[in-house]
Amino acid sequence: MTRKFLGQLAAAAIAAFSLSACVESRVALVTNTQPVLGQQFEVHLYEDFVDNKAGAVHASAYRWEDGQYIRVNGLSRDAKRFVAQPLAGNDFLIQSSDEGKQVYLYWIGRKLAPGVYLIFGVDEADADETTRNAICGTDRPEGICRVTARDELITLARATAAKPPKKPALGVVVSRPVLF
């Protein structure tokens, strides 16, 4: 494969991952987290639902290391690293990052039952226009909102949590010891 093709492939993968979560930051805004899912676990992800059936199913394993969950096996499109902390009620705010920690993406994890979570991207479109323009600005790429402060992130996350989820995935956490 040529270097140009590999660059295009990487750009496409990053774009696809970024489009599924519309709110991002250049610095970590979710800090001082704890291992809310235990020290290690496997998660089975059910995605791309059509007629209440998952079009894609796969599993990834994570281990708590250096204050974050690190993917130790699974698909490369799954979050390489992430942290989570309570938002409100059964909702958690999830922050994932790319390999170089240059872009942080944000998600809601909604606990449906013990070990079962609905996962969907924080979407700036869920906030009213005035709030969205104040936080994201009016001169920005379509579908991307770059936040710079934790209170901006929390405002958008709460707006998303208050709306019906868009393109959610279902995550089933298996908390038994995972062989790495």
What band does 76 get if pLDDT is binned at 50, 70 and 90? low
Instruction: Give pLDDT tens digits for 79-102.
Output: 889 999 999 999 999 999 877 778
**Whole-number percent of the chain with pLDDT over 70:** 84
Total-model pTM: 0.82
| 172 neighbors 43 (Cβ within 8 angstroms) | yes
- Distance from the Cα of residue 162 to its chain's centroid: 17
Cα separation, 168 vs 121, in Å, equals: 8
12 pLDDT above the threshold of 50: no
H helix runs in the chain, sequence order: 3-19, 129-136, 150-161
pLDDT in tens, 117-150: 999 999 999 999 999 999 998 887 777 899 999 9
Handedness of CA 66, 69, 71, 77 (dihedral sign): negative
